[in-house]
Structure 1
Amino acid sequence: MLSITEQISSLRHPTEADMELVQQVIGDHEQACRLVEDKIDIQISLLKRLQREKQRHLDNIQYCRSIITLARRIPREVLGKIFEICASSGWFRAPLAASQVCSAWREASLYPRAWSNIYIDCASSGVLNRTRLWLSKAHEAPLHITIDVFGESPYISPLLDLITQHQHQWYTFNIHAASCILANRVTSRCFTYSPYLREVRILTTKTEPDGVPLDFRALREAPRLFQLHLEQPDIFAWDASPTLKSQITDLNIKLVSQDLLTLSFTGVSLINILQDLLGLRCLKLELSEPKKRVFVADNTPELELPNLESLTLTISDDATSLLNYLQTPCLKSLSIQTSAEAISDPLIAQHLISFLKYSPALRALELYDVGVPREHLIHCFSLMPQLEELRLHDSDISDIELQALTGSSGYCPLLTRLDLRWCSYFSGRTLVDLVRSRILDHDQKIMARSRSLREIKEITAINCLHVEEQDVISLAQLTICRVVTRENDICVERECCDNVRYRQRMKFRHLMDISNPPTSSFRLVLDH
Structure 2
Amino acid sequence: MAASDISCPKCAHCFNLSDFDLPELSTSNVLETNAIPEETDLPLLCEFLATGRSRMASLSAKIKLLQSAVETLSGKKNELDLAIRKHEGSLSLSRRLPSEILAFIFQFSVAAQPYRAPWIVSAVCARWRSAALSHPRLWASLHYGQLSRGRNQDLLQYETQLFRSGQVPLDVQFIVGDWLPEDGLTEVEKSILQLFCNHASRWEAVSLRGEHWFFAHLGQCIQDPFTCLRKIKVEVSRMVSDPVITVDIFRDAPLLQEVQANRELWGAPLSMALNWTQLARYGGSNTWIGHLHTLQVASNLVDCSLEIQGDFASFEAPTAVLLPHLRRLSLSHPQFLQFLETPSLLELYCDYDANTVNSFIRKQNCTLQKLVMWECGVPGDAAILIRLIETLKSLVILCLLFEPPVEFLEHMSSRVDTLAPSLTHFSTFLRFPGAMDDDGDLVQNHLIQAIESRCPIGRLKSVRLYSIKPLLILDRLEKLKADGLSYAVFDGLRFLSLDKVDLEDIPPELTIFTME
Please list every run of 5 or more consecutive structure 1 residues that lacks an aligned counterpart in the other structure: 255-264, 288-293, 339-344, 439-455, 499-528
After TM superposition, give the deviation of residue 206 of structure 1 in Å: 4.9
Note if 1:385 corresponds to 2:405: no
What secondary structure is seen at the aligned counterpart in 2 of 1:84? helix
Partner of 1:304: 321
* Structure 2 residue corresponding to 1:235, chosen from 262, 265, 268: 268
Partner of 1:84: 107
* Structure 1 residue corresponding to 2:87, chosen from 64, 87, 99: 64
1:238-285 deviation line (CA, Å, top 9, x unaligned)? 3515xx23333312237xxxxxxxxxx864555455454333321224
Partner of 2:254: 223
What secondary structure is seen at the aligned counterpart in 2 of 1:296? coil
CA distance in 1, matches of 2:244, 2:466: 47
* Structure 1 residue corresponding to 2:188, chosen from 155, 167, 170: 155
Partner of 1:331: 345
Aligned-partner residue type, residue 366 of structure 1? V
CA distance in 2, matches of 1:358, 1:36: 104
Note if 1:350 corresponds to 2:374: no
Partner of 1:34: 57
**Structure having the higher Rg:** 2
What secondary structure is seen at the aligned counterpart in 2 of 1:483? strand
CA distance in 2, matches of 1:459, 1:111: 43
CA pair 2-437 structure 1, distance change in 2 beyond 3 A: closer
CA distance in 2, matches of 1:203, 1:267: 19
1:72-122 deviation line (CA, Å, top 9, x unaligned)? 232222221121221134333222211222232122212111111122357
CA pair 99-239 structure 1, distance change in 2 beyond 3 A: closer
Q: How many aligned positions are there? A: 440
1:274-298 deviation line (CA, Å, top 9, x unaligned)? 45433332122469xxxxxx96323
Partner of 2:411: 401
Note if 1:365 corresponds to 2:388: no
CA pair 74-159 structure 1, distance change in 2 beyond 3 A: same
Task: Out of 74-83 and 267-276, give the one that drifted further.
Answer: 267-276
1:165-204 deviation line (CA, Å, top 9, x unaligned)? 4333221011132x12213322442374112200011234
Task: Out of 1-10 and 384-393, give the one that drifted further.
Answer: 1-10
Aligned-partner residue type, residue 283 of structure 2? N
Note if 1:481 corresponds to 2:488: no
What secondary structure is seen at the aligned counterpart in 2 of 1:155? helix
CA distance in 2, matches of 1:469, 1:278: 50
Partner of 1:431: 451
CA distance in 1, matches of 2:344, 2:314: 25
CA distance in 1, matches of 2:74, 2:38: 53
Partner of 1:283: 304
CA pair 374-70 structure 1, distance change in 2 beyond 3 A: farther
Q: 1:99-498 to 2 correspondence within 5 Å?
A: 99-109=122-132, 110-121=134-145, 123=149, 124-150=151-177, 151-177=184-210, 179-190=211-222, 192-207=224-239, 209-211=241-243, 213-216=245-248, 218-231=249-262, 232=265, 234-238=267-271, 240-241=273-274, 244-253=275-284, 267-268=288-289, 270-271=291-292, 274-285=295-306, 296-302=311-317, 304-307=321-324, 308-313=326-331, 315=332, 319-336=333-350, 348-361=353-366, 362-369=368-375, 372-396=380-404, 398-403=408-413, 405-407=415-417, 410-413=418-421, 415-422=422-429, 424=444, 426-437=446-457, 456=459, 458-460=461-463, 462=465, 469=475, 473=479, 476-477=482-483, 480-484=484-488, 494=500
Residue 207 of structure 2 contacts residue 232 of structure 2 at CA under 8 Å; is this kept in 1? yes
After TM superposition, give the deviation of residue 25 of structure 1 in Å: 5.5
CA distance in 1, matches of 2:266, 2:480: 50
CA pair 467-387 structure 1, distance change in 2 beyond 3 A: same
Aligned-partner residue type, residue 232 of structure 2? V
CA distance in 1, matches of 2:41, 2:452: 102
After TM superposition, give the deviation of residue 154 of structure 1 in Å: 1.2
Residue 4 of structure 1 contacts residue 22 of structure 1 at CA under 8 Å; is this kept in 2? no
CA pair 115-147 structure 1, distance change in 2 beyond 3 A: same
Q: Report which structure shows greater RCO (CA 8 Å, sep ≥6).
A: 2
What is the Cα-based RMSD across aligned positions, in Å? 4.0
What secondary structure is seen at the aligned counterpart in 1 of 2:187? coil
What secondary structure is seen at the aligned counterpart in 2 of 1:63? helix
CA pair 214-18 structure 1, distance change in 2 beyond 3 A: farther
After TM superposition, give the deviation of residue 159 of structure 1 in Å: 3.1
- In the superposition, the TM-score normalised over structure 2's length comes to 0.72
CA distance in 2, matches of 1:191, 1:275: 30
- In the superposition, the TM-score normalised over structure 1's length comes to 0.70
Residue 143 of structure 1 contacts residue 170 of structure 1 at CA under 8 Å; is this kept in 2? yes
1:440-467 deviation line (CA, Å, top 9, x unaligned)? xxxxxxxxxxxxxxxx263325479686
Aligned-partner residue type, residue 268 of structure 2? I
Please list every run of 5 or more consecutive structure 2 residues that lacks an aligned counterpart in the other structure: 1-23, 178-183, 431-443, 505-516
CA distance in 1, matches of 2:428, 2:63: 72
After TM superposition, give the deviation of residue 417 of structure 1 in Å: 1.7
Residue 198 of structure 2 contacts residue 222 of structure 2 at CA under 8 Å; is this kept in 1? no
CA pair 99-8 structure 1, distance change in 2 beyond 3 A: closer
CA pair 394-9 structure 1, distance change in 2 beyond 3 A: closer
Aligned-partner residue type, residue 143 of structure 1? L
Aligned-partner residue type, residue 485 of structure 2? C
Residue 400 of structure 2 contacts residue 428 of structure 2 at CA under 8 Å; is this kept in 1? yes
CA pair 354-90 structure 1, distance change in 2 beyond 3 A: farther
CA pair 208-420 structure 1, distance change in 2 beyond 3 A: closer
Residue 373 of structure 1 contacts residue 396 of structure 1 at CA under 8 Å; is this kept in 2? no
After TM superposition, give the deviation of residue 421 of structure 1 in Å: 4.1
